[in-house]
Structure 1
Amino acid sequence: MTAPDVTLREHGPAVSVPLDLATGRALIASGILQSAAPDPGREGHWVLRAGNKVGAVRTPGGAVVRILPKTSVRRLFFLLGFSLDPARAWRDSREGTVEVGAYDDVVPALAHALERQTDRALRQGVLQGYREVEETALVVRGRLREAEQIRRHFARTPPAEIAYDAYTADIAENRILRAATERMLRLPGVPGTVRRRLAHHRVRLAGAAPLVRGQELPRWQPSRLNSRYQPALRLAEAVLRGSSPEHRPPGADPLAVDGFLLDMDKLFEDFITVALREAVREHGLTARLQDPHRLDTAGLVRMRPDLVVRSSDGRTPLAVVDAKYKTAKSGGFPNADLYQALAYATVLGLREAHLVYAAKGRSERSHEVCGTAAGEGGRGVRLYQHSVDLDQDSARLLLTLREIGGRLAASAAPSRS
């Protein structure tokens, strides 16, 4: 059976495609699709349906599965670009800080963006820096590692166990760019011209050691020296985190699938929380993303609200927000979201909690919770449901979130007085 090239759409209708058993099992084990099952009406076919992940993967048998986003690729990369570099996108409200070219698919757009950003980073030459090197040498250089010298050579020299600071291209920044470039070259769907330019960048970054799969990315600190690298580094880290080869449970290596996927739930959550964090800062407040708390006194049930707005000193919680990348059903949004928001408000001692949805054409709704009024005539806990239309132009989208940020600051004002 020829390996198929399958195109699905995020949360779109199920598609019946010819697949062999191994490929079908690989897709089930990977968890990248909402559902994958043999087609009962067509032998040798599988029914596939995409969920909230977009991108492309390749199975060991050579089958390629592409998942297109519901929103435009340009808008998707605006959300990604804002999450990576909010200051720039907040300032000029353009269509994003990540260039995507004229592509309708995630992977070629991402490859184009990474190549452009990497080219700009390397235009003035490959960045070099000091890195501590520990090695065995015949000539003493730097400082002697006395403990290692005694343990390995019984204090005899040469050879000598030495450590010194080397000025080299083998630094964290170049390692990350090299790993992201090599990763992109292995993905399906990268255009030939972009692939050739990425290969050229890989050669220029050959002085950096390759990263080992499964290990954490090396850490780098923003500075004046690496300022020209920073946009490329942020995008490269997004590539590496979204293209982890571990799209499978432990022990399932024979069924491994490999590729790049963006989780739209996580992308929407990152965009909303970063935008609201920037908005409340304009009102002199601080905010924490994924702020950890416990639901019960024993600490057995943990919870992490997407965003907790706090006082300027960061000590007092003033408002709580949870972002939901969901489509409203005919009866509205799920009640379980309201229960979750109420739990956040209760634990944090707040009179309000806010839910932000990716939805169009729905007005704001609020619910006052029964039995939560404090004393006669007191105001109970109120839960707000906000809707954000991702298809509106970027300036209007950011303005909508600034308005919600203003609401958060206004609800926090009585607590600050």
Structure 2
Amino acid sequence: MSLPSDTRVADVVKLREYETSPRPVALNVAEVSVLRGLPGGRLGLTPSDEPGCYLLQATSWVGAVVLPRLTIQILPKVQDLRTVLTMFTSGAGLVEWGTDGAAYDQSDLVEGVAGLLLRTTNGATRRGLVHGYRAANERLPVIRGRMDVQQLAARPWDSWPVPCRFDDFTADIPENRILLAAVRHVLRWPVGPVLRRMAGELLQRLEGVGDSPVAMTEYDLIRRTPLNQHYQPALTLARLVLEGFGLTQGAGGLTAQTFLVDMNKLFEKWIGDELRARLYPTIEVVEQMAVPLSVSPAVTMNPDLVFLRGTKTVFVADVKYKLTGGGLGRTSDYYQLLAYTTALRLRRGMLIYCRADLAPDRVITVVGGNQRLHTHPMDLSGSPEVVAEALDALAESIRKLT
């Protein structure tokens, strides 16, 4: 059976979250192996009635999968790319968007994130790279620091060049190695000439910084200091880029480049960061705090957000990215929130949803316990300014309930 012309060659397939491709896509054996090898069910494949053709099912993971013959773009449901990129910058306090919304409409998520990273890295490093001291052991023709007595004692016949131990003041430190790794990742993508030129300039600026095979591990070891404070937004974005970018090996030597981000986790982190900034200093927002559910044997839970006044827990909230079509919270979500309010001995709690097709009931009262479980939908369909107002309203609602 010959393939229809619209499925024989598919250079770019665009899907939105949880969407299934409207037509089957022709894939060879190697491509199927690569896509099925994506971890964690990031993309679903279902064989169609057409031999060698598959329906693609997107999940909550957005971004792109680039094969030599095919690019699969998974777009967020949020229409304004500026709002999605704002989620990436949550807690970092950066990015002022221009007024040209059309420029964002013409960009995809991957290029948007790449541009955001490069601009932020350029801003952090344009006045010079942060330097630090690094312990070094080298053999030198003149003594620097102190002689390595242990080496001299072990090999007294090998005394020149002199083994020395010293602290080297260098730009080759974890902060710069992480930025370098992220910029190199961006250059592997088919980004536009402006971004490629910016990435090339940053590579020249980072010349002398070594490559790190364990950039993510180094990130976790960095301590924030006054010296690297201005690096923090760029490092935060670099971590997201390093987590999202990856290479997937497939059959027949085929390699796919991927950049995929879980909107569930991104939305949860963004809500937590934004509420923390708005409720500080009267209310502290703690994410994923361990809460005991039972006495013995010990069973713990981790609510998305716990709100504290001083040392007293005053409120709890669970963040859900996807809402049921009818606009109501899922029954299981109410069960989960009820468990949190009961274990924390609270009279109120809140489910924060991304958006609703229909307005859900704002509060239900639990039979028997009389806990009041509130529901607050966050509509992300407007401009970043409108979304910021919605976040203000959410914070004010929580402040009144506590």
* Map of 1:198 onto structure 2: 199
Deviation of 1:3 (Å):
8.1
Query: Which residue of structure 1 lines up, in the alignment, with residue 73 of structure 2?
Result: 66
1:6 maps to which of 13, 25, 35: 13
Structure 1 residues 311, 255: closer, same or farther in 2, change over 3 A? farther
Q: Please report the TM-score for the alignment, with normalisation by the length of structure 1.
A: 0.81
Cα deviation, 1:311-346, whole Å, max 9, x if unaligned, reads 22xx32211111100032237221111011111112
- Once the two structures are superposed, the pairs formed by residues 221-370 of structure 1 within 5 Å of their partners are 221-245=223-247, 257-282=256-281, 284-298=282-296, 301-312=299-310, 315-330=311-326, 332-360=328-356, 362=359, 365-370=362-367
1:29 partnered with 2:37: yes
Amino acid at match of 1:411: L
CA contact (8 A) 2:181 2:215 kept: no
The residue type equivalent to 1:35 in the other structure is G
Name the aligned partner's letter for residue 182 of structure 1: R
Does structure 1 retain, via aligned residues, the 8 Å contact 2:337–2:373? yes
Contact 2:35 2:43 in 1 (8 A): no
The aligned counterpart of 1:131 is 134
Cα deviation 1:223-252 (Å, max 9, x = unaligned): 44334433322222221122244x69xx99
Cα deviation digits, residues 373-416 of structure 1 (max 9, x gap):
xxxxxxx211111111112333443333333333333333xxxx
1:112 to 87, 112, 115: 115
Aligned in 2, Cα 1:173/1:213: closer, same or farther, shift over 3 Å?
A: closer
User: Would you say the 8 A contact 2:139–2:160 is kept in 1?
Assistant: no
The aligned residue for residue 4 of structure 2 is none
| AA of the residue aligned to 1:371 | G
Q: Look up the SS of the partner of 2:37 in the other structure.
A: helix
- Partners of 2:172 and 2:366 in 1: CA distance: 58
Distance 1:240 1:337, change over 3 A: same
2:389 is the counterpart of 1:399: yes
8 Å Cα contact 1:6-1:64 kept in structure 2: yes
CA contact (8 A) 2:14 2:75 kept: yes
Inter-CA distance 345–392: structure 2 relative to 1 (3 Å threshold) = same
Matches within 5 A, 1:157-176: 157=159, 162-176=164-178
Q: Is the 8 A contact 1:139 1:158 kept in 2?
A: no
Contact 1:101 1:109 in 2 (8 A): no
CA contact (8 A) 1:275 1:398 kept: no
Residue 403 of structure 1 aligns to a residue in which SS?
A: helix
Q: Is the 8 A contact 1:129 1:169 kept in 2?
A: yes
Q: Which amino acid aligns with 2:306?
A: V
Q: Is the 8 A contact 1:112 1:194 kept in 2?
A: yes
CA distance in 1, matches of 2:110, 2:186: 8
Which residue of structure 2 lines up, in the alignment, with residue 220 of structure 1? Answer: 222
Counterpart amino acid of 1:9?
Answer: R
- Cα deviation 1:162-217 (Å, max 9, x = unaligned): 43221111012211111110001112x31123113212211221211112057513
Paired residues of 2:9 and 2:26 also in contact (CA < 8 A): no
Classify 1:180/1:279 alpha carbon distance in 2 versus 1 (closer, same or farther; 3 Å). Answer: same
After TM superposition, the structure 1 = structure 2 runs for residues 71-150 of structure 1, keeping only pairs within 5 Å, are: 71=78, 72-81=80-89, 83-86=90-93, 95=97, 102=104, 103-135=106-138, 139-144=142-147
The letter of the residue matching 2:19 is G
1:101 shift after superposition: 5.4
Distance 1:192 1:148, change over 3 A: same
Cα distance, 1:131 vs. partner?
2.2
Q: Find the residue that maps to 1:22 and give its secondary structure.
A: helix
Could you give the per-residue CA deviations for residues 91-135 of structure 1, whole angstroms, max 9, x where no partner exists? xxx659xx9954430111122222222222332233323222244
Q: Is the 8 A contact 2:10 2:25 kept in 1?
A: no
TM-score by length of 2: 0.84
Aligned to 1:342, the other structure's residue is in SS state: helix
1:354 to partner: Cα distance: 0.8
State which of 44, 60, 64 in structure 2 corresponds to 1:56.
64
Q: Return the letter of the residue paired with 2:365.
A: E
Specify every segment of 5 or more residues in structure 1 that has no aligned partner in the other structure, as ranges: 373-379, 413-417
**Larger displacement relative to structure 2 (338-347 or 285-294):** 285-294
Q: Write the distance in 2 (CA, Å) between the matches of 1:165 and 1:267.
A: 40
Distance 1:79 1:241 in 2: 15
Other structure's SS at 1:349 match? coil
Residue type of the alignment partner of 1:229: Y
- The whole-number CA distance in structure 2 between the counterparts of 1:385 and 1:254 is 50
Partner in structure 1 of residue 180 of structure 2: 178
Determine if contact 1:306/1:323 at 8 Å carries over to the other structure: yes
Instruction: Answer yes or no: is the 8 Å Cα contact 2:328–2:360 preserved in 1.
Output: no
Give, in whole Å, the separation in 2 of the partners of 1:201 and 1:253: 35
